[in-house]
A = this chain, B = another copy of it.
Amino acid sequence: MSDVKRVVLAYSGGLDTSVILKWLATEYQCEVVTFTADLGQGEELEPARAKAELMGVRPEYIFIDDLREEFVRDYVMPMMRSNALYEGLYLLGTSIARPLIAKRQIEIARQVGADAVSHGATGKGNDQVRFELGYYALAPDIRVIAPWREWDLTSRTRLIEYAEQHQIPVPKDKRGESPFSTDANLLHTSSEGKVLEDPWDEVPDYVYSRTDDPVTAPDVPEEITIDFERGDAVAVNGEGLSPATLLAKLNELGKRHGIGRLDLVENRFVGMKSRGMYETPGGTIYHLAHRGIEQITLDRGAMHLKDELAPRYAELIYNGLWFSPEREMLQAAIDHSQHKVSGTVRLKLFKGSVFVTGRRSPYSLYSEKVVTFEDDAGAYDQRDAAGFIKLNALRLRLLGRRDGL
């Protein structure tokens, strides 16, 4: 395995990826380049730099990037245009972050002349697939190292032993078994494992970190507005915001009102079912608001086609196929529908719920004149409906006659 010279590691600064850092350097006798991304996970990143330095990474090989705006603008928002929900419910908060990390790792690998990339995802999960499909799509001949599938540090005890043997600091709270594991970014926090493994057991209160308890949330609904332009949110309560600050603002609102909690048993791409708990406060508001503005600005044909394509699109993102021709084709179709998805949605947030209460748009297709119960001054001729029904019924009548009805 001595053929690897330089490897770019997706490095969080935590215990696991620190052990990986050391293990890569030792096992592969190669130079390790660390890449730490700020995707809005809410942790300080500078400690990661210090740790990497401490473990011998050359300063010029420590990459720490704030990717929050790119994340929301180029990944979250395009996905939100599709209204994608994996298995009907999940807003894909983890899945959508992986392609960006993979892309940036490959860019860094090219920049520093690395011949390999590595990540800290385990061999049972979806994230290994998402990282690696991203790597291979963007750099077909890159070498991928997945330590969790290779090494023999298969228990936490052995991992900690390894850390101690190699002078890797072990935080006190990592000594014992963590009761669950989490992943976080600007869109969501996911929790899974251990105390969540029995899908009949209720998720314990202490697992929630991104949302306040709906029970103790404010007793009075809060009304907000979101403005959309060409399918993307651009303002909250009238205040124009950049993509990341907008999502952060919605997260703050959603947190306060206990919005976006989801207890889910889902089907992993690798073939097993897993139980997760997701908190997507701002994303949940965003999703419903986007549906709201589409209701008045999207034509029926466009909306129904989108609705039929959305499950497939969601599956592709979940499975790590962001960088695939078929995801791009679907994106092209979806984006084509969004040119006039502009306007304002008003919502009420209250103890875990989001209610769309109004929507308006300069591009509204809703016509009070046509729909009204009142006299419509000839905008719609009710007699047309007779012919419409007759011809839609024709095939059913021929069928009924044949079948002797």
| A3 located at the interface, meaning its Cβ lies under 8 Å from any Cβ of chain B in the complex | no
Considering only CB atoms, which chain B residue lies closest to A345 in the complex? B200
CA–CA, A122 to B372, complex, Å? 12
Complex alpha-carbon distance, A140 and B306, angstroms:
24
How far does the alpha carbon of A143 sit from the alpha carbon of B195 in the complex, in Å? 33
A window 97-134: CB within 8 A of B? 122-124, 128-129, 132-133
Using known A-B contacts A155-B375, A356-B263, A387-B384, determine if residue A271 contacts B395 with beta carbons closer than 8 Å: yes
Main secondary structure of the interface of A (DSSP, over half): mixed
A237 at interface, CB cutoff 8 A:
no
- Residue A300 lies at the interface, judged by CB distance under 8 Å to chain B: yes
Question: What string of 1s and 0s marks CB contacts (under 8 Å) between A236-265 and chain B?
Answer: 000000000000000000000000010111
7 nearest CB pairs, A to B: A387-B387, A123-B382, A271-B394, A267-B300, A384-B387, A140-B397, A140-B400
Query: In the complex the two chains form, is A136's CB within 8 Å of B393's CB?
Result: yes
Sample 20 A-B pairs with CB under 8 A, ordered by A number: A132-B389, A136-B400, A140-B397, A141-B401, A155-B375, A197-B371, A199-B296, A200-B360, A214-B353, A215-B220, A264-B295, A267-B303, A273-B398, A298-B325, A301-B325, A308-B308, A310-B311, A328-B336, A352-B353, A384-B390
Surface stretch bound by B, among A47-55, A83-91, A167-175: A83-91
Q: Taking the complex as formed, is A275 at the interface, i.e. its CB lies under 8 A from any CB of chain B?
A: yes
Distance of A206 Cα from B369 Cα, bound (Å):
24
User: Which residues of A from 288 to 307 have beta carbons under 8 Å from B?
Assistant: 291, 295-296, 298-307
A1 close to chain B: CB less than 8 A: no
Beta-carbon contact of B197 and A368 below 8 Å: yes
B124→A385 contact, CB < 8 A: yes
The distance in angstroms between the C-alpha atoms of A333 and B380, with both chains bound, is 34
- Name the one of B123, B215, B402 contacting A364, with C-beta atoms under 8 angstroms: B402
For the complex formed by this chain, how many copies does it contain in all?
4
Assess the B138–A358 pair: CB atoms within 8 A: no
Given contacts A149-B382, A365-B398, A358 and B391 within 8 Å (CB-CB): no
Whether a CB of chain B sits under 8 angstroms from the CB of A357 is yes
Most buried by B among A181, A335, A337, A392: A392
Query: How far is A333 from B271 in the complex, measured between Cα atoms in Å?
Result: 22
Say yes or no: is A41 at the interface (Cβ < 8 Å to chain B).
no
Q: Is the CB of B402 within 8 A of A340?
A: yes
Residue contact B395 to A272, C-beta cutoff 8 Å: yes
Report B-chain residues with C-beta under 8 Å of the C-beta of A146.
385-386
With A87-B307, A272-B371 given, can you name 12 additional A-B contacts, CB distance below 8 Å?
Answer: A87-B295, A89-B291, A123-B385, A124-B382, A133-B393, A137-B400, A140-B400, A194-B373, A200-B360, A267-B300, A273-B295, A381-B387
Nearest-CB residue, chain B, relative to A271: B394
**Chain B residue nearest in CB terms to A198:** B368
Check B352–A405 contact: CB distance below 8 A.
Answer: no
Q: Is B149 touching A385 in the complex (CB atoms < 8 A)? A: yes
Q: Is A65 an interface residue, CB under 8 A from the partner?
A: no
Cβ contact of A351, chosen from B133, B321, B353, B385, cutoff 8 A:
B353
